[in-house]
Amino acid sequence: MSTAGKVIKCKAAVLWEANKPFSIEEVEVAPPKEHEVRIKIVATGICRSDDHVITGALVKPFPIILGHEAAGVVESVGQGVTSVKPGDKVVPLFVPQCGECKSCLNTKGNLCCKTDLDPSNGFMPDGTTRFTCKGKAIYHFLGTSTFTEYTVVHESAVAKIDSAAPLEKVCLIGCGFSTGYGAALQTAKVEPGSTCAVFGLGGVGLSVIIGCKAAGAARIIAVDINKDKFAKAKELGATDCINPRDLKKPIHEVLIEMTGGGVDYSFEVIGRTDTMTAALACCHNNYGVSVIVGVPPAAQNITFDPMLLFTGRSWKGSVFGGWKSKDAVPKLVADYINKKFVLDPLITHTLPWTKINEGFDLLRTGE
């Protein structure tokens, strides 16, 4: 029996307020409007950015359905949709690609104007929501909202992928893997023989390491306060692992000494202002490039000595690894199928999604 054009009742993990667990609720998911796509979510990853909303570090309206790293199958499409059809395997895109705005038209840009990064938003592009629960409208998250059995996204925010793709693996290409891998390859443009430092060895940090290694970096120094992360970092290409808590002096000074003047490229993949400044300071004073990959905490500013930049360093940000999402995601999925890179080491646990609160506990304990 076709569900096209009808409201779907399904289960979703609703966050009613900050600093509370997710509540598994029955929600109503409206049919897709013009240029919208309704997706049955098959697999979704848990990302620190979702947790930032729970803690208030990323400000969003409540109640909300979080989740932005996923893969699924198109259930139905609204009027005018041409790039996907029911039955297609897809990855929702938290950074859309409308193809018309300044960023989309610029070869160097990837942060589409249709992105829902505005703190007060939480709506579809037309200013309404597709979710209701207990008679209340529920906000969307980053235009994707994947912690639900069904979601609705704008056509610019979905990429059709190879029908052979294993969805429980390639869901990581929807955020974590692409964000880290692209930060190295697209944003920093790491060169063969170079030296890199990676601050933070979660899934995204490990993906930066995979990217640095793919680019031919000769030395990749991994930095984390959790030494349990070191074995996996080395398996994926790290040449050195350092725990700042074991050091007598600041981490940037140690890295400058280890490398005879600073690294060529550094990456902050945590989302802390102190590590962002350390990552900048540890790269070479004249030609070093430091990339901010972690989501910066709300209402915190960085104070630093401008001489750090005056001597020639570059400080860059990277959203979704600098990839133009709709173009890049199908290619990245094809590269995974063709064994250009691995995803399995990034997956530590696979849980039924009703155990989402346990999944976030594992994230918070560093497991």
User: What residues are annotated to the active site?
Assistant: 47, 49, 52, 68, 175
Q: Which helix (H) or strand (E) holds 211?
A: helix 203-214
Residue 116's contacts (CB-CB under 8 Å, 6 or more residues apart) are 94, 122, 123, 140, 141, 142, 143
**What DSSP letter does each residue of 321-360 carry, written as one string?**
GG--HHHHHHHHHHHHHTTSS--GGG------GGGHHHHH
Q: Report the distance separating Cα 259 and Cα 222, nearest Å.
A: 13
Please list the residues that pair with 325 across neighbouring strands: none
Residue 86's contacts (CB-CB under 8 Å, 6 or more residues apart) are 4, 74, 75, 76, 77
**3-state SS assignment for residue 31:** coil
Residue 263 is given by DSSP the state: B
Contact 301, 292 (CB under 8 A): no
Nearest to 2 by CA among 75, 101, 89, 51: 75
List the Cα angle 51/55/57 in 5-degree steps. Answer: 90
Q: Report the distance separating Cα 205 and Cα 270, nearest Å.
A: 8
Q: Report the distance separating Cα 201 and Cα 235, nearest Å.
A: 12
Nearest to 222 by CA among 233, 208, 235: 233
**3-state SS assignment for residue 362:** helix
